[in-house]
């Protein structure tokens, strides 16, 4: 374990391009353990690219990614639960077997059935466990996708816009559960466009054009504007303007 052992994630000076398109541009970020950490930024800012890199699906052309104190590798990938922005569910399998697939993959052994039941109850899909995924609504697919990411109780969760399409009641339930996970030491990295999600996060990073333009607690970022009653949108614009002034 290196000096970063106390961190869930440390990203230093990472570049990534899709062909000629620079999606991450010298991006650096630190995520403590046991927090919900929000990635905020406009469409195309690089949130999904960063999450896919943390999940080990993309490799930086330059820079380093450290996960739970270890360099990113197939082994560190096993300590994460990843919920993609576009759900990757098996349409030919039932709700139950989609989640069970992950319990097998992570070798959960005897605890399997109980864990599948726990997470399906959590996302309110236990009664639908025998249904084919093809018969679920969009929000239900979203909930199932989250259940798949949670089932092996990883110390780090990567959730790419997990609350899109959720009704307000379920969104609140998710956040209650995220808080419980945080209290057990689980770090949750969550991308979102909603200020409701952002306000629940212990820490946030503002992304723009493949860079982190600010990182801190929501109250800290709002206070930096120097204006009473500033919102997180105000804070984002404040940091964008600061960057433009400097550049």
Contact positions vs Mg ion (CB under 5 A): 47-48, 85
Burial track 34-65 (b if 16+ CB lie within 10 A, e otherwise): ebbbbbbbeeebbbbbbbbbbbbebebeebeb
- For the CB of residue 245, give the shortest distance to ligand ATP in the complex, in Å: 24
Q: In this structure, are strands 70-71 and 62-67 parallel, antiparallel, or unpaired?
A: antiparallel
- Is 23 a binding residue for ligand ATP by CB under 6 A? The answer is yes
Stretch that binds ligand ATP, among 39-47, 53-61, 139-147, 215-223 (CB under 6 A): 39-47
Size of the site for ligand ATP (CB under 6 A): 12
- For the CB of residue 76, give the shortest distance to ligand ATP in the complex, in Å: 21
Give which of 85, 26, 32, 56 is closest to 212, Cα–Cα: 26
**For 247, which DSSP code?**
-
- For the CB of residue 190, give the shortest distance to Mg ion in the complex, in Å: 12
Q: Looking at beta carbons only, is 93 or 209 nearer to ligand ATP? A: 209
Question: What residue 183 binds from ligand ATP, Mg ion, none (CB within 5 to 8 A, per partner kind)?
Answer: none
Which tokens in the block code for residue 89? 């569910």
Question: Is the Cβ–Cβ distance between 196 and 171 less than 8 Å?
Answer: yes
- Is 20 a binding residue for ligand ATP by CB under 6 A? The answer is no
Question: What residue 21 binds from ligand ATP, Mg ion, none (CB within 5 to 8 A, per partner kind)?
Answer: ligand ATP
User: What residues from 42 to 61 belong to the interface with ligand ATP (CB under 6 A)?
Assistant: 43-49
User: What residues from 82 to 121 belong to the interface with ligand ATP (CB under 6 A)?
Assistant: 85
Lateral strand order in the sheet of 211-216: 80-83, 156-160, 187-191, 36-40, 203-208, 211-216
Question: Is the Cβ–Cβ distance between 34 and 182 less than 8 Å?
Answer: yes
Query: Interface residues with ligand ATP (CB under 6 A)?
Result: 18, 21, 23, 41, 43-49, 85
């Amino acid at each position: 374990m290196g000096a970063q052992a106390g961190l869930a994630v440390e990203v230093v000076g990472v570049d990534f391009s899709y062909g000629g398109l620079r999606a991450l541009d010298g991006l650096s970020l630190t995520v403590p353990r046991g927090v919900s950490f929000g990635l905020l930024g406009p469409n195309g800012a690089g949130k999904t690219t960063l999450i896919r890199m943390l999940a080990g699906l993309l490799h930086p052309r330059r820079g380093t990614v450290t996960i739970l104190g270890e360099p990113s590798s197939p082994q560190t990938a096993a300590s994460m639960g990843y919920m993609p922005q576009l759900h990757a569910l098996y349409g030919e399998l039932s709700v139950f077997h989609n989640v069970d697939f992950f319990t097998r993959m992570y070798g959960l052994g005897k605890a399997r059935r109980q864990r599948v039941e726990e997470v399906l109850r959590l996302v309110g899909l236990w009664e639908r466990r025998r249904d084919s995924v093809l018969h679920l609504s969009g929000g239900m697919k979203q909930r199932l996708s989250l259940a798949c990411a949670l089932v092996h109780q990883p110390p780090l969760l990567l959730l790419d816009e997990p609350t899109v399409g959720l009704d307000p009641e379920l969104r609140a339930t998710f956040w209650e559960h995220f808080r419980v996970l945080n209290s057990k030491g689980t770090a949750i990295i969550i991308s979102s466009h909603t200020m409701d999600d952002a306000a629940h996060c212990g820490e946030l990073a503002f992304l723009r054009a493949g860079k982190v333009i600010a990182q801190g607690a929501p109250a800290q970022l709002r206070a930096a504007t120097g204006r009473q009653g500033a919102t997180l949108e105000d804070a984002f614009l404040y940091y964008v303007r600061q960057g433009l002034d400097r550049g």
